[in-house]
Structure 1
Amino acid sequence: MRFVLASASPARLATLRSAGVQPEVLVSDVDEPAATAEAEKRYGALEPAGVALILARAKCEDVAGRDEADDALVLGCDSVLEFEGAAHGKPSDSSDAIARWQRMRGKSGILHSGHWLIDNRDDGTGATFGVTASTVVHFADIDDAEIEAYVATGEPLYVAGAFTVDGLGGPFVTSIEGDYHNVVGVSLPALRELLQEIGISWHELRPAPTESV
């Protein structure tokens, strides 16, 4: 069974691999601000969780429409941080990242990861559907020097919410409420449940073990 991940995120890929899944990676060409604007034009103002799902769907559909994704399951993901009622993706630059952390420190946000699955298998269901998983994240009350040093690493510029829990930002996340992997970018339990909806068990995604001679 071919399984395609429509995401450039190395953290998502590493998470799936650590769970025994070896997806092919095809990166989408979706313009995220344009896709969000189009969705808001059609549906009105979106909640942060809705933004994550809309973008996950757009990425999944973009990749699933390519010849390279024929006869495969395709998963698209996108994450946003809900903080003080607004959705935050990647910061625009270092100044933006610093300003965000100065607002977030000592407070909490909700990391939403949208998951969209398209069954492109020749003998599959043709299903296209998704879900958003959400995890509460509590941030440490770090000082300006720590913020500036963290932003100087460059990591916050490439991740939703300007932080990681599995990388250099880990020391600044005091606790979470919910699925850890969801904060990394892909909820394994949510993906398992999506697969179950189309009659696929989790172990079917894992490569068959090779027999030693």
Structure 2
Amino acid sequence: MPTRLYLASTSPARRSLLAQSGIEPVLVAPGVDEDAVATAESERLGRALTGPELVALLAVAKARAVAGSDDAPGSVAGERIDGVVFGGDSAFEVDGVLYGKPHDPGVARDRWRGMLAAGGGTLWSGHCIIDRRADGDRVPDGRDGSAPHPGLAGSPGAFRESLARFRRAERASPSVVTTGITRPAPETVVAVDSAVLTFAADMSADEIDAYVATGEPLEVAGAFTIDGRAAAYIARIDGSPSAVVGLSLPMLRAMLLEGFGIPWHDLWNGPGTL
């Protein structure tokens, strides 16, 4: 039986990206008030959140909202979740300013003018996986004397080294950052990937107006997508292209394999969407 992947998102782009990779996730709306969560954490820290902090925070919040806890696991359509839950979030940073979803056409136009003036920016992509498989399907973590999987809590050093190898192998240029890889609990792995984007230098005001008029940029981080009409305006991507869509497939694969002993092909042809 394939491992079921629950996607704590209703994003068509994330679902399509997974489907193109042979994975049919179960879509679950997390119901998280992102602004409230981010504001509360910023107030707790007494400062603004960095890009990696923001996307990691919201990815975790979404995954936890769907996964529940070991004592009270989440459910979908009345059935207990039995699989792994993925939560993700994205933010685009330009000259130190984080851009979320613009919502308003006027804001989207201003964002594009600023992004073009800067030449590009960094897309931060947060990832959180929570293991909610039946206990019999989980890989031993070594706490009961059994041999742990190299990535699990029984050998955190091996886990860190494995993901460090991933970072070295996948980094496309010195400007691309993969950071913030943590394991806050045995059943949870959190990571942040990034990609640096360069926009077409000759994009005109008419092109900005035409793109904003489509409505496509209003509800996406940074006011653009690479899997839609904005693809022609992006001249270069340094990093994982899938991270720009909403989740880094190479990072997701590494987290599943090294964190939980789940090979990528174990998610192929999974059950359909509920």
Q: TM-score, normalised by structure 1?
A: 0.93
Read off the aligned partner of 1:161 and give its amino acid letter. Answer: G
Q: Secondary structure at the match of 1:105?
A: helix
Match of 1:167 among 218, 225, 228: 228
Give me the CA root mean square deviation: 1.4
Structure 2 gap ranges (5+): 69-73, 140-185
Contact 2:103 2:219 in 1 (8 A): no
- Tell me, yes or no, if structure 1 residue 71 matches structure 2 residue 82: yes
Structure 1 gap ranges (5+): 209-213
- Tell me, yes or no, if structure 1 residue 49 matches structure 2 residue 59: no
Read off the aligned partner of 2:9 and give its amino acid letter. Answer: S
Percent of aligned pairs sharing the same letter? 43
Match of 1:182 among 226, 243, 262: 243
The residue number in structure 1 matching 2:178 is: none
Q: Secondary structure at the match of 1:74?
A: strand
Within 2, Cα distance between the matches of 1:188 and 1:79? 14
Match of 2:106 among 91, 95, 103: 95
Read off the aligned partner of 1:137 and give its amino acid letter. Answer: L
Read off the aligned partner of 2:17 and give its amino acid letter. Answer: T
Match of 1:133 among 190, 193, 198: 193
Within 1, Cα distance between the matches of 2:254 and 2:235? 28
**Which of the pair has more CA radius of gyration?**
2
Read off the aligned partner of 2:63 and give its amino acid letter. Answer: C
Match of 2:36 among 34, 37, 51: 34
Within 1, Cα distance between the matches of 2:261 and 2:188? 14
Q: Secondary structure at the match of 2:15?
A: helix
Contact 1:51 1:87 in 2 (8 A): no
Q: Secondary structure at the match of 1:37?
A: helix
Within 2, Cα distance between the matches of 1:28 and 1:39? 18
Contact 1:80 1:112 in 2 (8 A): yes
- 1:106-134 deviations in whole A, cap 9, x for unaligned? 51100011010000112236611210110
Match of 1:58 among 53, 57, 61: 61
Within 2, Cα distance between the matches of 1:59 and 1:112? 16
Residues 151 and 133 of structure 1: CA distance in aligned 2, closer, same or farther (over 3 Å): same
- 1:50-88 deviations in whole A, cap 9, x for unaligned? 111111111111111232252220000111001110211
Q: Secondary structure at the match of 2:229?
A: coil
C-alpha displacement at 1:200, in angstroms? 0.8
Q: Which has the higher contact order (CA 8 A, sep 6+)?
A: 2
Match of 2:125 among 110, 113, 120: 113
Within 1, Cα distance between the matches of 2:43 and 2:190? 21
Contact 1:56 1:77 in 2 (8 A): yes
Within 1, Cα distance between the matches of 2:99 and 2:32? 17
Between 1:41-50 and 1:19-28, the stretch displaced more is 41-50
Match of 1:80 among 68, 84, 91: 91
The residue number in structure 2 matching 1:211 is: none
- 1:127-181 deviations in whole A, cap 9, x for unaligned? 1121011000011131111101100000000111000111011111111101011
Within 1, Cα distance between the matches of 2:11 and 2:103? 18
Structure 1: 4+ residue segments shifted above 6 A: none
Between 1:33-42 and 1:89-98, the stretch displaced more is 33-42
C-alpha displacement at 1:42, in angstroms? 2.5
Contact 1:82 1:88 in 2 (8 A): yes
Q: TM-score, normalised by structure 2?
A: 0.73
Read off the aligned partner of 1:200 and give its amino acid letter. Answer: I
